[in-house]
Amino acid sequence: MPAPDFSFKIRSSSPGEQTARIILHMDKLLKQTSPCIVLVEGDTNTVLAAALAANKRDVSVGHVEAGLRSYDLRMPEEHNRRLTDHLSDFLFAPTARSETNLRKRTYGQIYVTGNTVIDAVDQHLPIAERKSDIIERIRFEKFILATAHRAENVDNLNVLNSLMGVLEESPLPVVYSMHPRTRKRLRQHRLLSRIESCKNVQVLPPLGYLDFLVLMRKCELILTDSGGIQEEATAPSIRKPVLVLRLSTERPEAVESGFAKVVGTDKNKALAEINEALKHREELPHKSPYGEGNAGKES
């Protein structure tokens, strides 16, 4: 990607302070640049802050990935996406279900476009397979790919213990790309050395996009609490089953199409689901529920 025309760094702080600082930076930038529209994508604090700043400057907002709902109010992202939808003049919904969610309330103009995640996978997987050497660093021939980073999972010691137990006792070795938040919590609770020394788990630092695409392509199964990975796994060039380590998902289309299954965070249940997924491998659809890779053009 080209270098940004403008950028700023926000130091680690509370979510409220972080959001406030982004609003301040964006307000100055909007005053300086006078855009006709601000496009935001996703459900992070940055997305909400940028939308709020634009609203206060009377600048139109376009929300890419609008209308997603998990209905799990423990998730900061659920609040961010709902508030951003309310602030937006143009809503680019990835699916018909997302459009239905938006029409339950009074919103701006709604367009069903598919999700740009599929565009990105289509564009970058061939590049990743040429450039990445990550697979040479993996010590297992067959493996499960895992991630876990959400606050409701890793900030809860009982849940964190359960998730680490899933990785340690998995019937197939696990390649685990560890998020900084998770590493911090594991170190805080003196669990980091335990998971790093487990022979069944290969812990990796946070990976770049190209390396992660290759691992998704090569793995047998994905364990994750990430929303985006649930979508990426449905790309025709990936087509991998996903077990969602959460109590809910804002990507129900991935579940309904057979790619994903929400299994919760209980260790025994998750391990049973892993065994079932590996034992009975079902044929996955060749078409993604999130579009045909042209969401960028449709938007």
Distances (CA, A) of 109 to 40, 112, 198, 201: 15, 10, 51, 47
- Count other C-beta atoms under 10 Å from residue 71's C-beta: 10
Q: Give dist(CA 269, CA 272) in Å, integer.
A: 5
Distances (CA, A) of 133 to 114, 138, 175, 200, 208: 31, 10, 15, 22, 12
Catalytic residue among 79, 149, 179, 280: 149
Place of tokens 């139109």: 60
Q: Give dist(CA 22, CA 117) in Å, integer.
A: 24
The answer to whether 124 is a known catalytic residue is no
Q: Give dist(CA 51, CA 56) in Å, integer.
A: 9
Distances (CA, A) of 24 to 37, 158, 245, 256: 18, 37, 35, 41
Q: Which two tokens stand for residue 149?
A: 């980073």
Q: 94 near 291, Cβ under 8 Å? A: yes
Q: Which residues are catalytic?
A: 149
